[in-house]
Amino acid sequence: MKVIRTSNYGEMSRTAGELIIEKIRSNQQLTLGLATGSTPKGVYEYLISDHWQNGTSYKNITTINLDEYIGLRNDHPNSYHIFMRKNLFDLLDIPLAETFIPDGTADDLETECLRYENLIKEKGGIDLQLLGIGQNGHIGFNEPGTPFKSRTHIVTLAESTRQANSRFFPSFREVPAQAITMGISTIFESREILLLASGAAKAEAVARLINGDSDENFPASALKLHRNVTIIADEAALKLV
């Protein structure tokens, strides 16, 4: 794993943004794996301002998101469908039909998981997957204990994850208890992975990722076995390394 140390959130976002733009410019049909949460928002802002200033086009890009809550309609303000539209898709020239997010309202959720796996295959796999990291080491919504061989599946969210995400909801009670997430093996098959971390709250997780062993109780540590992972983190997130 390569580690790029940046001074703060802004520099982390710019560094990741520039790397993604370079990939898009060299492969206009890139399949880009995307993430939600606070961490990638600055990257998305960077991509949007570059798009308007420099004309980088997303017309032929495909995007595939990591996860979605179960039970929230796709037009619910807290759904990841709306997060992605508001923070990225509606502000680029990407056709919405080439943006994919699991459907957490599907009647048959097991079939939806299989459909998502097949979709990723049909799209030729993910060229570059963007990831955040949870304080408990989760990637996507793969909580500690998830087998490294897992494919897209239904998860019950850890209490700590629901607490962390309750900042986006009117109350903790309204945070869904379940989600659909790409599995660790699904994520691992991405040709390249870019993991971002910012702030002191992530310092323990980042230190364990960089210095610890590969262990299913710490999902992000699966990435230690991958050949093409770059961690871009700021000083605060790297302070225990």
Positions annotated as catalytic residues are 67, 136, 138, 143
Nearest approach in angstroms of CB 143 to ligand PGA is 10
Q: How far is the CB of 80 from ligand PGA (least distance, A)?
A: 12
183 near ligand PGA, judged by CB under 6 A: no
The answer to the question of residue 42 lying near ligand PGA (CB under 6 A) is: no
Q: Does 181 bind ligand PGA (CB under 6 A)?
A: no
> C-beta of 39: minimal distance to ligand PGA in Å?
3
Parallel, antiparallel, or unpaired: how do β-strands 192-197 and 99-100 relate? unpaired
Residue 134 interacts with ligand PGA (CB under 6 A): yes or no? yes
* Piece of 73-81, 93-101, 128-136, 174-182 that binds ligand PGA (CB under 6 A): 128-136
Decide: is 39 part of the binding site for ligand PGA (CB under 6 A). Answer: yes
- Asked if 64 interacts with ligand PGA (CB under 6 A), we say no
Which parts of this chain interact with ligand PGA (CB under 6 A)? 37-39, 132-134, 138
